[in-house]
């Protein structure tokens, strides 16, 4: 018997008992929905959690400080840097050429005097303060551990736009929930320069105005202001033209740090060791991420097991329905054999019937699971939004959906094997009834 | 094409159950010439259907031999029996044996497909056969929408789908009224001439059996020649 004929017979067979077929498909649909929804939610939650840990940057990111490594801190996630050491073009080129390094993004920084019109937590006018401005190539922000909480990032090359961190929000007595309140506020930013007059060291500033365009969470470098590279370079040039005063931001190191992306999470440790050998201090949340991933993997295994148990229960339902079908269709099977069908032809018809139940249930279940995951995601995002947290981006899980369909089909075919074998082994004399 | 010659020697068949064993065929001998129409009568439970199963390779003989056109069915494997049924035998059942979910044309076409004919040619052959049994206007009707006589004619058309050399009919008129019986019997009787096959008919209707060239009566496991018309 051809596959085409077997498929036609299988579909016709299912139409004999549409109610039973529909209920069996429903069981598979529910199980596949559960599996798909659980894995989709788990996958998205993992992405969200890891994103939170890496602050939106790559998981395999490593912060390199313009400092020597402290031998006591080597290998720690939050290693404290040792003595300052200039990070220049030569060091940048050396680190960029290390094996297993995928990308290197330089970070610059300088100290700026900030005058804000905002009030502090006690409602008093905020005193002017010195704060570090971190300068990055905004075009490469996706490679950096920067995530936007409110508003947007400054535009590259524009010297009148800044983003602030949650540290700044704290300074003005706000929390993440109120982040949007500071967007649009103006700051006066002053680059300081030390100079001598009458044998006294004095400071003068070069001022300009900038608007807060966004609030970010960032781990590129320590500092409450995130600005385009160009703004930091202009300020550094002015500050470094004066007398050396580290308090005012005088710094001989061209770069404040580097953000290195290793070629995969597994290579983070190796790259850190290599950078340490070059002579710079590194930090990366590799141990934390590895631990979290292990826990998330355990959660994923548990959720998968729950979904699979549901699928197995559905498969038992398929086996039961198929056994009932074989019992009811003994004579029909006998007739098929009487007109020339071999055992394997009958086996094929019943296997196709079972697989069709699984396939249809798998497709409906995958779609249902995706819709459930979206609905759950919507509820979760509503809660996160109320808490002022970044929402979950539901990842379209192609492999989960494909796995649900293929898995359901395969499991259904496996469940249908026993009834199909039983049907195939029925004697052909069933065609004339019990004799 | 000529019909198949049937030679049965010492055929014995026993059913085992918890309450004991029941021998329904006890050393049956039967010889049927190619192209003949033979009737076998007997009371209910006499073993007529069992004999038909053994002649049609639906079951393997326990003792004795069934040789059809030189093929000894007692030594055939399950697949060989299936091949034999597919190539050589056409069945007509009392209960019609049609698949209710398929149309008349699909029922006949399925038998064509099983005998190795492609879908399109199978459909054409099914239509020709249904036309030949007077069901040209019922091609796309499913069995529940056909009368008993029409269903049996579909079953006959299906039995002819593989161009069999032996047609076995088990009480083919058992569920039919008088008019339908006449029409079906005329069809069966025309098969040797029109399709060149041997016909063995099992019935408990002695009037029908009397129309056959040879008529046997099965009783107490033995087959007795009742009448021969030629």
Q: Give the pLDDT confidence of A193-209 residue by residue, as tens digits.
A: 998 888 888 888 899 99
Q: What is the per-residue pLDDT for B1?
A: 57
Q: What is the per-residue pLDDT for A388?
A: 66
Q: Domain end: A269, A284, A299, which one?
A: A284
* Sign of the alpha-carbon torsion through A71, A75, A76, A78: positive
Q: Indicate if the pLDDT at residue A308 is higher than 90.
A: no
Q: How many CB atoms lie within 10 A of CB A123?
A: 7
Q: Domain end: A284, A312, A343, which one?
A: A284
Average pLDDT rounded to a whole number, residues B159-174: 86
Q: What is the per-residue pLDDT for A320?
A: 87
Pick from A4, A12, A427: which is nearest to B102 by CB?
A: A12
* Sign of the alpha-carbon torsion through A115, A121, A125, A128: negative
If we measure between CA atoms, which residue out of A62, A307, A339 comes closest to residue B56?
A: A339
User: What distance in Å separates residue B130's CA from the closest CA in chain A?
Assistant: 17
Q: What is the per-residue pLDDT for B193?
A: 81
pLDDT per residue as tens digits for the range A290-301: 888 888 888 889
Is the pTM higher than 0.90? The answer reads no
User: What distance in Å separates residue B45's CA from the closest CA in chain A?
Assistant: 8
Cα–Cα dist A24/A18, whole Å: 10
Pick from A343, A429, A433: which is nearest to B78 by CB?
A: A343
CATH code: domain B6-228 is: 3.40.50.300
**What percentage of chain A reaches a pLDDT higher than 90?**
33
Q: Domain end: A252, A284, A316, which one?
A: A284
Cα–Cα dist A71/A87, whole Å: 19
Q: Give me A51's structure tokens.
A: 């994103």
Residues A354 and A410 in one domain: yes
Cα–Cα dist A231/A250, whole Å: 15
Q: What is the per-residue pLDDT for A435?
A: 45
Judge contact between B82 and B76, C-beta under 8 A.
Answer: no
Phi/psi class of residue A55: alpha, beta or left (left: φ > 0; alpha: ψ in -120 to 50)? left
Q: Indicate if the pLDDT at residue B180 is higher than 90.
A: no
User: What distance in Å separates residue A421's CA from the closest CA in chain B?
Assistant: 14
Can you give chain A as a three-state secondary structure string? CCHHHHHHHHHHHHHHCHHHHHHHHHHHHHHHHHHHHHHHHHHHHHHHHHHHHCCCCCCCEEEEECEEECCCCCCCCCCCEEEECCCCHHHHHHHHCCCCEEEEEEEEEEEEEEEECCECCCCCECCCEEEEEEEECHHHHHHCCEEEEEECCCCCCCCCEEEEEHHHHHHCCCCHHHHHHHCCCEEEEEEEEEEEECCEEEEEEEEEEEEEEEEEEECCCCCCEEEEHHHHHHHHHHHHCCECCHHHCCCCCCCCEEEEEECCHHHHHHHHHHHHHHCCCEECCHHHHHHHHHHHHHHHHHHHHHHHHHHHHHHHHHHHHHHHHHHHCHHHHHHHHHCCCCHHHHHHHHHHHHHHHHHHHHHHHHHHHHHHHHHHHHHHHHHHHHCCCCCCCCCCCHHHHHHHHHHHHHHHHHHCHHHHHHHHHCCHHHHHCCC
Q: Give me A307's structure tokens.
A: 């979904």
Number of CB pairs, chain A paired with chain B, less than 8 A apart = 94
Average pLDDT, chain A: 87
Residues A34 and A103 in one domain: no
Average pLDDT rounded to a whole number, residues A220-247: 89
Q: Which of A5, A18, A435 to mutate to test the interface with B (most CBs of B within 10 A)?
A: A435
* Sign of the alpha-carbon torsion through A361, A362, A367, A369: positive
Q: Which helix (H) or strand (E) holds B90?
A: strand B89-92
A209 burial via Cβ count (<10 Å: 0-12, 13-18, 19+): exposed
Pick from A335, A341, A429: which is nearest to B97 by CB?
A: A335
Cβ-based contacts of B59 with chain A (< 8 Å): 427-429
Q: Of A185-194, A241-250, A327-336, give the range with the top mean pLDDT.
A: A185-194
Pick from A1, A428, A431: which is nearest to B93 by CB?
A: A431
User: What distance in Å separates residue B193's CA from the closest CA in chain A?
Assistant: 22
CA angle centred on B108, ends B102 and B114, rounded to 5°: 100
pLDDT per residue as tens digits for the range A81-124: 889 999 999 999 999 999 999 999 999 999 999 998 888 878 88
Work out the angle between the directed axes of helices B148-159 and B104-114 (0-180°, nearest 10).
20
Residues A47 and A109 in one domain: no
pLDDT per residue as tens digits for the range A345-383: 899 999 999 999 999 999 999 999 999 998 988 888 888
| pLDDT bracket for residue B148 (50, 70, 90) | confident
* Sign of the alpha-carbon torsion through A122, A126, A130, A132: positive
Q: Which of B16, B52, B62, B101 to mutate to test the interface with A (most CBs of A within 10 A)?
A: B101
- In three-state secondary structure terms, B19 is coil
Q: What is the per-residue pLDDT for B229?
A: 60
Chain B, residues 86-145, CB within 8 A of chain A, namely 86-87, 89, 91, 93, 95, 97-102, 106, 110-111, 113-115, 119
Residue of A nearest to B53 (CA): A429
Q: How many CB atoms lie within 10 A of CB B189?
A: 17
| Residues ≥6 apart with Cβ < 8 Å to A215 | A148, A149, A150, A151, A163, A164, A165, A166, A168, A169, A176, A179, A180, A182, A183
Residue of B nearest to A425 (CA): B78
- In three-state secondary structure terms, B209 is helix
**Interchain CB distance below 8 Å, B50 and A435:** yes
Residues in a beta bridge with A212 = A162
Q: What is the per-residue pLDDT for B176?
A: 73
Extents of the domains making up chain B: 6-228
Residue of A nearest to B86 (CA): A340
**Interchain CB distance below 8 Å, A339 and B100:** no
Residues in a beta bridge with B16 = B21
Tell me the CB-side half-sphere exposure of residue B214, using CA atoms within 13 A.
16
Q: Which of A4, A5, A12, A338 to mutate to test the interface with B (most CBs of B within 10 A)?
A: A338
Domain that holds residue A323: 3-54+291-432
**Interchain CB distance below 8 Å, B97 and A331:** yes
Judge contact between B126 and B202, C-beta under 8 A.
Answer: no
Q: Which of B62, B82, B96, B106 to mutate to test the interface with A (most CBs of A within 10 A)?
A: B82
| pLDDT bracket for residue A258 (50, 70, 90) | very high
Q: What is the per-residue pLDDT for A371?
A: 92
Q: Indicate if the pLDDT at residue B41 is higher than 80.
A: yes
Q: What is the per-residue pLDDT for A434?
A: 46
Pick from B79, B100, B111: which is nearest to A339 by CB?
A: B111
Average pLDDT rounded to a whole number, residues A405-409: 92
Residue of A nearest to B88 (CA): A340
Q: Give me B87's structure tokens.
A: 């190539």
Residues A46 and A77 in one domain: no
Pick from A8, A339, A341: which is nearest to B91 by CB?
A: A339
């Amino acid at each position: 018997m051809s596959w085409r004929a077997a498929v036609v017979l299988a579909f016709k067979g299912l139409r004999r008992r549409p109610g039973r077929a529909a209920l069996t498909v429903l069981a598979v649909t529910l199980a596949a929905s559960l599996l798909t929804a659980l894995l989709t939610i788990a996958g998205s939650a993992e992405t969200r959690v890891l994103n939170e840990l890496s602050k939106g940057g790559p998981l395999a990111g490593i912060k390199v400080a313009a400092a020597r490594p402290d031998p006591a801190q080597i290998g720690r996630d939050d290693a404290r840097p040792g003595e300052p050491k200039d990070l220049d073009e030569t060091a940048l080129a050396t680190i960029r050429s290390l094996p297993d390094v995928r990308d290197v993004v330089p970070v610059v920084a300088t100290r700026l005097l900030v005058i804000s019109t905002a009030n502090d937590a006690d409602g008093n006018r905020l005193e002017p303060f010195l704060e570090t401005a971190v300068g990055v190539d905004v075009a490469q922000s996706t490679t950096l551990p920067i995530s936007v909480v409110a508003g947007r990032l400054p535009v590259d090359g524009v010297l009148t736009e800044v983003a602030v961190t949650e540290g700044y929000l704290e300074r003005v007595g706000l929390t993440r929930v109120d982040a949007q309140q500071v967007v649009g506020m103006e700051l006066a930013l002053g680059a300081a320069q030390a100079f001598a007059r009458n044998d006294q060291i004095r400071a003068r500033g070069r001022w300009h105005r900038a608007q807060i365009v966004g609030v970010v969470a960032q781990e590129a470098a320590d500092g409450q202001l995130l600005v385009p590279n160009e703004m930091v370079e202009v300020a550094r040039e002015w500050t470094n033209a004066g007398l050396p005063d580290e308090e005012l931001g005088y710094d001989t190191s061209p770069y404040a740090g580097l953000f290195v992306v290793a070629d995969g999470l597994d290579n983070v440790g190796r790259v850190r060791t290599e950078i340490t050998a070059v002579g710079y201090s590194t930090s990366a949340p590799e141990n934390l991420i590895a631990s979290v991933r292990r826990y998330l993997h355990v959660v994923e295994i548990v959720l998968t097991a729950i979904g699979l148990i549901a699928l197995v229960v559905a498969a038992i339902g398929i086996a039961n329905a198929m056994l009932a079908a074989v019992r009811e269709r003994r004579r029909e099977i006998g007739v098929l054999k009487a007109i020339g069908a071999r055992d394997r032809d009958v086996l094929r018809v019943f296997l196709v019937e079972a697989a069709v139940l699984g396939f249809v249930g798998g497709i409906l279940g995958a779609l249902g699971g995706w819709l459930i995951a979206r609905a759950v995601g919507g509820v979760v995002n509503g809660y996160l939004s109320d808490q002022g947290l970044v929402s979950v981006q539901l990842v379209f899980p192609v492999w989960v959906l494909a796995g649900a369909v293929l898995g359901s089909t395969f499991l259904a075919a496996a469940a249908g094997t026993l009834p199909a074998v039983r049907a195939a082994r029925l004697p052909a004399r069933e065609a004339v009834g019990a004799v | 094409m000529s019909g198949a010659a049937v030679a049965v020697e010492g055929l014995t068949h026993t059913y085992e159950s918890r309450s004991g064993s029941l021998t329904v065929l006890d050393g049956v001998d039967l010889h049927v010439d190619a192209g003949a129409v033979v009737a076998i009568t007997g009371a209910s439970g006499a073993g007529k259907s069992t004999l038909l199963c053994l002649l049609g390779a639906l079951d393997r003989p326990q003792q004795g031999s069934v040789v059809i056109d030189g093929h000894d069915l007692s030594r055939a494997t399950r697949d060989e029996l299936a091949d034999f049924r597919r190539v050589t035998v056409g069945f007509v059942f009392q209960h019609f044996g049609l698949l209710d979910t398929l149309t008349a044309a699909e029922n006949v076409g399925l038998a064509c497909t099983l005998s190795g004919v492609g879908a399109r040619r199978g459909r054409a052959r099914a239509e020709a056969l249904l036309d030949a049994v007077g069901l040209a206007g019922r091609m796309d009707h499913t069995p529940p929408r056909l009368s008993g006589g029409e269903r049996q004619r579909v079953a006959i058309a299906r039995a002819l789908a593989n161009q069999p050399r032996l047609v076995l009919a088990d009480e083919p008129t058992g569920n039919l009224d008088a008019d339908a019986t006449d029409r079906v019997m005329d069809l069966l009787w025309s098969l040797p001439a029109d399709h060149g096959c041997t016909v063995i008919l099992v019935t408990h209707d002695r009037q029908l059996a009397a129309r056959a060239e040879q008529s046997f009566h099965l009783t107490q496991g033995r087959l007795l020649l009742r009448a021969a018309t030629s």
